[in-house]
Amino acid sequence: MAISTPTAPSKILKTVFGYDCFRGQQQAVIEHLLAGRDALVLMPTGGGKSLCYQIPAIIRNGVGIVISPLIALMQDQVSALLQLGVKAAFLNSTLSLEQARLIEQQLVNGELDLLYIAPERLTAARTSALFARIKIALFAIDEAHCVSQWGHDFRADYLQLSLLHEQFPDIPRIALTATADEKTQQEIILRLGLENAALFRSGFDRPNIRYRIVQKQQARQQLMAFIEAEHVGDSGIVYCLSRKKVDETAAWLSEKGINALPYHAGMSNDLRYRHQHRFLMEEGLVMVATIAFGMGIDKPNVRFVAHLDLPKSVEAYYQETGRAGRDGLPANAWMAYGLQDVITLRKMLADSQADEVHKRVEYHKLDAMLALCEQVHCRRQALLNYFGDQLEQPCGNCDTCLEPVQTWDGTLAAQQALSCVYRTGQRFGVAYLIDILLGKTTERVKKFGHETLSTFGIGKALDEQQWYSVFRQLVARGLVAVDFDRFGALQLTEVCRPILRGEQQLMLRKDAKQEKTKRIKPSGKSPSGTQNTASLWEALRAKRKEIAQDQDVPPYIIFNDATLMAILETKPQNRQQMAMISGVGTRKLELYADKFLAVIRAFSDADNEVSDTVSESVNLFRLGFTVKQIAQKRALKETTIYDHLAQPLEQGQLVLADVVELPEQDLLRIEQALLDLPAAQRNALKPVYDVFDGVYSYGVLRCVRAALQHKTA
């Protein structure tokens, strides 16, 4: 053990990592490894997997070797450990020969607790010779699902990891993943030789993530409305299927005032690194990316993950959405989904060079993803059920729980659609078929003489969007197939026969009508409360950013948002109180306590000065003085007095009609103008001032806003 700490796991948890107690099965896993036994750990993202091997590596004699698939993950983990006083390093391709040799010497000298290494290095003769000279505490195989040849993150180098057990049979191994269905679990056990390992399964639920899938209409505009309503200034990830769409979406968001960057495999390594580095280091940046981005990104305060295209599988969806809310604070998983997504992914599978066995597996995974999208009951229950995890009651934190989906008897509509496919010779795509069902006499319809068909105009009971919904669900359920060789023509399948014959009822999902997105409070980025509280929060974030920039590490490495929020709420006055906060260990207490305590003290002093002058104005008002009289008595501007009274108005201690002498109709007009502001201007007064051509002073507007904030809190 390279650092001087008590060896009890619970003491290391507190003194090094700053946490009071273990979560879930962490302690059981740690004790199992300390006893020298192997383990397979299935734990959701943000569940604390890394502690399961970091603490045993610190306690056990020797160095813990961590096999990690991505450079970004290694660097992030090592930076975080060094902040805690843990001696950690990594060996990967970013190091110069001299740097690598220095780390190897530290390893031989027994100066490291943890070494992170890429899987491809394990088979190198130099690595084998190095390992033969050192004492190894344990092997940790992170992102173990990469060993699965059926998975979306398959890494061929992981297949060599069974060599660890052959070469070092007495050293305990721990394999960890957040994404593995039953088939993938069995493959991990088989390929890594973990038949005798204990299985620790913590469940896959991420209760802080709200899952939402909307029907795709104008995807970019829908995305923008979502960000403006709930995530202005937040960090987020937007996934797209193609590189071109990534570039176009990032450029479009930037034009709209969103700080967005693209990321995909078609960019140079240098540019990808710079964009990834900015995402980790900066607050409020949105990364628009293909699936090339994400695995190993440890940023805890990603507040949303959005999909503009359908993922290929439930595993991919779960892993990608799991990059939101790693800090445990509320986060959103939002996706726009439509018929074209189904057609595009099925075409990609059809054109794939994979063998038929792999294609069948991929089709099955896509069907499961489509079923999740068309779900009418709790979406979280369906998601967890895919991984063999049961949730007894609906979650109450997904779209289908918050806004229950209605179903309707779509048997007749399906029969009309299927009949139309048949009578047009199974040669046409969805848009053309809808024209026939709606009775549109287009040039193309007349060219083929289809205005004479019995199905021409029989579908006028539904509008165009409703027909797109019907066809989407028919394709998703496999009742019709898409002929990609014939430009997306629909063809009937055997499965549709009972529907056509009237032998089987078909219940369809009734898509919710697209409404203007409601403005709601941001999900997790900033605290509620007074303006002073918000100002202190920004001051604490600014101090964190300043310290992080000096060290060239991401701000969350200093303190994550959950810890910073706890500092804001408790406002510690000394080191002893600071040490009680979760996430503040001994090392961070020494390094940063005084800096953050100074920020809190500065605000406390300012609050005391401000509170005295505010109290004087409020007391005079309660004695019956008007705003004008108080301003004259105190030799202050009326706007200043309104500012003083806005604080007790926000806290509900005064009545707006007593403070602002305006007719009720005027007050209601101002309130409505404030409510109509876009999310990006949520706290701005100038737009409202301009709306009324300066008739109402800023002081009056500030008081109305304060009372409204109390009313809507």
369's tokens: 């993803």
Q: What SS3 class is residue 262?
A: strand
d(CA 390, CA 204): 9
Give the model's pLDDT for residue 619.
Answer: 85
Give the model's pLDDT for residue 158.
Answer: 80
The CATH code that applies to domain 407-510 is 1.10.10.10
d(CA 617, CA 665): 27
Give the model's pLDDT for residue 606.
Answer: 56
Give the model's pLDDT for residue 577.
Answer: 92
Give the model's pLDDT for residue 140.
Answer: 95
Neighbours of 430 (CB within 10 A): 24
Neighbours of 664 (CB within 10 A): 9
Angle at 388 between CA 386 and CA 393, to 5 degrees: 85
**Dihedral, CA of residue 33, residue 34, residue 35 and residue 37, to nearest 10:** 20
CATH 3.40.50.300 domain extents, the chain = 9-201, 209-405
d(CA 519, CA 214): 17
Residue (of 410, 411, 432) closest to 490 by Cα position: 432
Instruction: Decide: 64 and 131 in contact? Cβ < 8 Å.
Output: no
CATH 1.10.10.10 domain extents, the chain = 407-510
Tokens 């052959």 correspond to 166
Residue 471 zone, left/alpha/beta (φ > 0; ψ -120 to 50; rest): alpha
Give the model's pLDDT for residue 463.
Answer: 92
d(CA 194, CA 190): 7
The CATH code that applies to domain 209-405 is 3.40.50.300
Low-confidence ranges of the chain (pLDDT < 70): 1-7, 149-155, 295-296, 484-485, 513-532, 605-612, 679-683
d(CA 411, CA 417): 10
CB contact burial 680-713 (16+ within 10 A = b; e otherwise)? eeeeebeebbebeeeebeebbbbbbbbbbbbeee
Tokens 């305006």 correspond to 662
Superfamily of domain 9-201, CATH level 4: P-loop containing nucleotide triphosphate hydrolases (3.40.50.300)
- What is the DSSP code string of 139-167? EEE-SGGGG-TTSTT--GGGGGGGHHHHH
Residue 125 phi/psi, 5° resolution? -60, -35
514's tokens: 């697209």
**Helix (H), strand (E) at residue 39:** strand 39-42
d(CA 400, CA 376): 6
Angle at 316 between CA 325 and CA 225, to 5 degrees: 55
Q: Would you say the pTM of this structure is higher than 0.95?
A: no
- Computed from CA positions of residues 342, 345, 351, 354, in that sequence, does the dihedral angle turn out positive or negative? negative
Residue (of 76, 91, 162) closest to 121 by Cα position: 91
Q: Are strands 88-91 and 114-117 parallel, antiparallel or unpaired?
A: parallel
**Helix (H), strand (E) at residue 508:** strand 507-510
